[in-house]
Amino acid sequence: MGAFGYVAPGSLDEALTVLSEHASLGKRAQVLAGGTDLLVQMRGLDREPRTIVDIKKLAETNRVDIGAQEVFIGAAVPSAVLNENQALVDLYPGLLEAADLIGSTQIQGRATLGGNLCNASPAGDSIPAMIAAGAVCVIAGSGGTRELPVEDFVTGVGTNALGADEFLVGLKLPAPGPGTADAYLRFIPRTEMDIAVAGCGVSVTLDGSGKCTAARVGIGAVAPRALLVPAAAEALIGSTLDDAALQAAGEACSAAASPITDKRGTDVYRRKVVGVLCRRAAAIARDRARQA
């Protein structure tokens, strides 16, 4: 392995200066959050010398703010910390169950939602759940701050929308209104510590009569990137989330999928499984929304 540099900026401006100086000199810099993907990659396929920019010392990336309208989760907050925040678990049980599926207790002590997203694996567990919850990326760069919905952030397998002088500061989520709840389910061949064969996040809003007035459905591990499935949401909206509506939403997810075949499952199998997961996750979200 060649020589690596390491910097741990103490401010957002300092971090941006390091990134933009490297970008303008054509030198490579890479952001480090928890390192649970990055260190594995450094030891394996990607040994190219570069400067590692640790964002764990920044105030902005360590913030968790729960407001009446909006919630902010900093990009350096490990999922173990999120999962111990009962207010967050109450607001987004689906997103937090996705965070709680990532690796082991040890991995969760380091792993962040931001790292899961920026790593841009098709099977990243939190990504469909963030899509369902309506999460928006807050991105800082030398030109200022911009926002991008999570469903538009990942551009392909292992690639994302960040420029070389940009990094993810955190995620903004709309605070769920009354009658709103989410759920996330994945299927893996083992009981834990495996990569999803398929995953599905669903968020629904019910009115006082139990009719679904809003929904978002995200699917993962069944396409080069996690997808928002508007057709699945349309199948749910206007219904009471009865079996027929759940079935139609599941079919929409299967139709939206374009999976690969590998040792974990064939494309046909994955397409079927994602439909089943959508039905089940939507039923869980519905039951939670009735109590919300």
Ligand X SMILES: Cc1cc2nc3c(=O)[nH]c(=O)nc-3n(C[C@H](O)[C@H](O)[C@H](O)COP(=O)(O)OP(=O)(O)OC[C@H]3O[C@@H](n4cnc5c(N)ncnc54)[C@H](O)[C@@H]3O)c2cc1C
Query: Which residues would be at the binding site for ligand X (CB under 6 A)?
Result: 30-38, 40, 55, 75, 101-103, 107, 110-112, 114-116, 118-119, 124-125, 162, 167-168, 193
Length of the chain: 292
At its nearest, how many Å lie between ligand X and the CB of residue 227? 16
Comparison of 119 and 254: residue with beta carbon closer to ligand X: 119
Shortest distance in whole angstroms from residue 56 CB to ligand X: 9
Q: Specify whether the CB–CB gap between 199 and 185 falls below 8 A.
A: yes
> Taking the CB of residue 157, how many other CB atoms lie within 10 A of it?
12
- For ligand X, the closer of residues 88 and 101 by Cβ is 101
- Encoding tokens for residue 263? 């040792």
Tell the smallest beta-carbon distance from residue 258 to ligand X (Å).
20
* Count of beta carbons in the 10 Å neighbourhood of residue 33: 27
CB of 4 vs ligand X, minimal distance in Å:
13
Which residue number places its CB atom closest to ligand X? Answer: 115
Closest distance between ligand X and the C-beta of residue 292, in Å?
A: 26
Which residue lies nearer to ligand X by CB, 93 or 124?
124
Of 76, 283, 87, 85, which Cα lies nearest the Cα of 175? 87
In this complex, which beta carbon is closest to ligand X, that of residue 36 or of residue 205?
A: 36
φ, ψ for residue 64, nearest 5 deg: -130, 115
Euclidean distance between CA atoms 34 and 228, whole angstroms? 26
Q: For the chain, how big is the Rg over CA atoms in Å?
A: 19
CA nearest to 176, candidates 233, 95, 231, 257: 95
Minimum distance of ligand X from residue 16's CB (angstroms): 11
Nearest residue (CB) to ligand X, 9 versus 210: 9
Instruction: Using CB atoms within 10 Å of the CB of residue 105, give its burial: 0 to 12 exposed, 13 to 18 middle, 19+ buried.
Output: exposed
Q: Residue 125 or residue 151: which is nearer to ligand X going by CB? A: 125
